[in-house]
Structure 1
């Protein structure tokens, strides 16, 4: 049997263990509303080595470590899905903005169409030629033709400028996001060092570990990071197998290129001279949308131009589709108009011309011929020069129904081509929004599962507090009882 004096150690250890548990419970309760906090527990409460000799009843217990409640598998799954969510958030947002730019997805008429959309402007332009064919010498109708042409070009140029700005914004966002990722990686490296230093002396660094996990969650929305634990307990962060953070060192990512077709934007490893394998996250989405590959000039000799929406960037697809629309129309209209004769006898004039003669005709380099804009009599509605001849006006109006366009090898007229283009945009937008909503729900579900493990439960902590308080009181009473027994023994002896 252990000595009476040995009971002091047993009772004291019981008080110490439960005092530690009460302190841990107090910390949990004080952080019940702290974002990113993981509840902690006094883990590995072990029995102290029994005293040798005799029939030992033990030598009390001790707390070996304070451990966070955390599920690493859920953390890894959350970060992987969060990267997908970050990717689709950008895609969905950009496609929604593109729909707003076209103004075709908000109906303001009883028939479900928009008065402000590009389709209406195209119809108004051809309608003005139809009206001109009814009275080829009408000055007011000639003015309407010119104004409809100017409005159409202005709308298309404005849309293209907005799309170019959206694409430039994607370039800027890549640079900003890479800078943010580098900064977060640097902070993780610092925390790795601080955690190692704190725990090397037997201390605990649960608060620092919570900070590190929050940073890793934030990084996961930017790129496809993978987190692993090294043999010394610190975290290593990689992207596509290449180290971003190792111990207290962070490796840097850099952007190269200006986002043009000649010098496309890329993300490279500064230390390894290779392209970073970013396959998800918001950086991947911005990189895709910043890619201008697919925007090209359309030559009259190559008509009809076979448009396919297969470029990496949805922005590029829409820009090229609209470029095909107006450039093809301009080439076909010019071919007819230049063969006609104006009221003033002028011949050989193109209705549409370039703004910069050194560059090819395109959506960003087109205008109504200034000569026609200044003198409506130069509009060639006639093939013979006679005042009542409407041959050219009729032919230009008929271009609206001619199959001068191709979409995935299918021939179609101007209206059908534009409908196919906005149908692609609507479908792409709906798909992106659906993926984003699915990923958002999945990420929220995973985070809820993580919180079930890591978050603080008031009811549980209050129950634990009562249990530890009673255990502490019981150990103190044991200590008091032993003290009384020893006091009686001394009195008997003395």
Structure 2
């Protein structure tokens, strides 16, 4: 090895360690930057082959500057994150429904005694039948007739207020689909732009770690919205959903939402260019799509009774709306049948107790009220099958409706209270399952992210240790160069 060759080796050592110090400084500068990945310099031996059996070392060179990133962990994380986002929507909606139906106690305390009042659906049903029980023993008392009308209005108010909240929750699901698709399209556009920028920055061996970090952060966000798959070719990404390109290099394939979310006009997400429905199998968009589905809700009439209620609808919101609809509509049809067969206090033909707000549409939880005629004149409330004194047969029959097994849940005959209990049991079980599934999935996603961070996260301790190592190596190479300088100076002086 010549003196000048040794000089070149020392210089290569200084150059590579200077590059390593630069990446270390970059890492330290980004230690608190969200999504920043650790950057590392990979060095390689530099040598010259002198014969078929020997080679001569020429120092070291910078082989590459790369991010510390595990592609497999990224892919697994995004798949599991999509499932987690889906379960988050489903669990959150189930939890909200549960709060709407929760029975609660209001305790009022005075100096003399303590009064406990229970409100909620079951309490409203009980109060309604209790009012009829009282009326059946004193059918001529004006106050008891008014109490029945009031209790009927309170029952409707309780049920319809819950249904209105459920309708709003379903409308929010429709909004969630629209907002989610808009976000997915926007993120896809940003990924396409970064594909172009990265390709330009890495021409000729350039390095664009910061752009790649931005792109990966966008992909993570996209995975929370829908089931995406990512492939990379020469630095350019292709993002697909069930094999259809959402992003391909600099191009994007836009998604559109069609439908209003009603039963007649269901919500769908389609590819704008082909009109084909997009296969979204996970992510928050999938969760909102399912809960926006109203096909589990339908009106019923007398010919449908007993209506066999099931919990097989895609949307838990629609399931609960239909449960409440079946509860009140069945009660209204049966009570009206009894009321219309009797006479009022004045001997006139009986009127329906519950009527449709819009007479052109069937009775339902969204189209029902206590007959306005009864509200105006409680004497028109029917308790008797005839005008014979003491005949309270209709009131007695209405009281018996609370134990009449006119409801069905998956083929099992139930009375009104047991039917409501079955619905709340389903809600509690399904809600607990959804919450447990989400908790398990969220834990898995957190573990995967921790594994990713173990690979790519920037550690101050590690970077400070590297800085000392690279500085020492740089100084050592510099001292070698200095020694060679002194040797060359001495040689020149000797000539």
Q: TM-score, normalised by structure 1?
A: 0.96
Q: For 1:289-319, what per-residue CA distance to the aligned partner results, in whole angstroms no more than 9, with x for missing partners? A: 0011121111101210111111111111111
Give the drift of 1:114. Answer: 7.9
Matches within 5 A, 1:20-31: 20-31=19-30
CA distance in 2: counterparts of 1:130 and 1:424, whole angstroms: 30
Aligned residue number for residue 236 of structure 1: 238
Matches within 5 A, 1:413-428: 413-428=415-430
CA distance in 1: counterparts of 2:49 and 2:428, whole angstroms: 78
Aligned residue number for residue 208 of structure 1: 211
Match of residue 483, structure 1, among 477, 482, 485: 485
Q: For 1:205-231, what per-residue CA distance to the aligned partner results, in whole angstroms no more than 9, with x for missing partners? A: 00000001100000001000011112x
Aligned residue number for residue 358 of structure 1: 360
Deviates more, 1:193-202 or 1:456-465: 456-465
CA distance in 1: counterparts of 2:251 and 2:439, whole angstroms: 36
Q: TM-score, normalised by structure 2?
A: 0.96
Aligned residue number for residue 71 of structure 2: 72
Give the drift of 1:344. Answer: 1.6
Aligned residue number for residue 273 of structure 2: 271
Native 8 Å contact 2:350 2:380 kept in 1:
no
Give the drift of 1:91. Answer: 0.5
CA distance in 2: counterparts of 1:40 and 1:271, whole angstroms: 40
Native 8 Å contact 1:137 1:388 kept in 2:
no
Aligned residue number for residue 178 of structure 2: 175
Native 8 Å contact 1:268 1:276 kept in 2:
yes
Aligned residue number for residue 113 of structure 2: none
Matches within 5 A, 1:94-243: 94-104=93-103, 106=104, 115-230=118-233, 232-243=234-245
Aligned residue number for residue 296 of structure 1: 298
1:381 to 1:98, Cα distance in 2 relative to 1, 3 A: same
Aligned residue number for residue 40 of structure 1: 39
Runs of 5+ consecutive residues of structure 2 not aligned to the other structure: 109-115
CA distance in 1: counterparts of 2:346 and 2:463, whole angstroms: 93
Matched, 1:436 2:438: yes
Aligned residue number for residue 472 of structure 2: 470
Give the drift of 1:233. Answer: 2.6
Q: For 1:23-77, what per-residue CA distance to the aligned partner results, in whole angstroms no more than 9, with x for missing partners? A: 111111121121111101002x112242758986411111021111111111111
CA distance in 2: counterparts of 1:142 and 1:8, whole angstroms: 110
Native 8 Å contact 2:384 2:393 kept in 1:
yes
Match of residue 307, structure 2, among 305, 308, 312: 305
SS at 1:73 equivalent: helix
1:222 to 1:23, Cα distance in 2 relative to 1, 3 A: same
Give the drift of 1:387. Answer: 4.3
Native 8 Å contact 1:256 1:268 kept in 2:
yes
Q: For 1:462-489, what per-residue CA distance to the aligned partner results, in whole angstroms no more than 9, with x for missing partners? A: 2211111110000000000000000000
Aligned residue number for residue 84 of structure 1: 83
Tell me the matched-pair count.
487
Native 8 Å contact 1:307 1:408 kept in 2:
yes
Native 8 Å contact 1:114 1:120 kept in 2:
no
CA distance in 2: counterparts of 1:315 and 1:137, whole angstroms: 43
- Superposition RMSD in Å: 1.6
SS at 2:140 equivalent: coil
Runs of 5+ consecutive residues of structure 1 not aligned to the other structure: none
CA distance in 1: counterparts of 2:425 and 2:349, whole angstroms: 40
Native 8 Å contact 2:47 2:55 kept in 1:
no
Matched, 1:58 2:57: yes
CA distance in 2: counterparts of 1:359 and 1:173, whole angstroms: 30
Native 8 Å contact 1:235 1:247 kept in 2:
yes
Matches within 5 A, 1:246-395: 246-395=248-397
Give the drift of 1:153. Answer: 1.0
Q: For 1:379-399, what per-residue CA distance to the aligned partner results, in whole angstroms no more than 9, with x for missing partners? A: 111222234322111110000
Deviates more, 1:279-288 or 1:337-346: 337-346
Native 8 Å contact 2:350 2:382 kept in 1:
no
Give the drift of 1:350. Answer: 0.6
Matched, 1:11 2:13: no
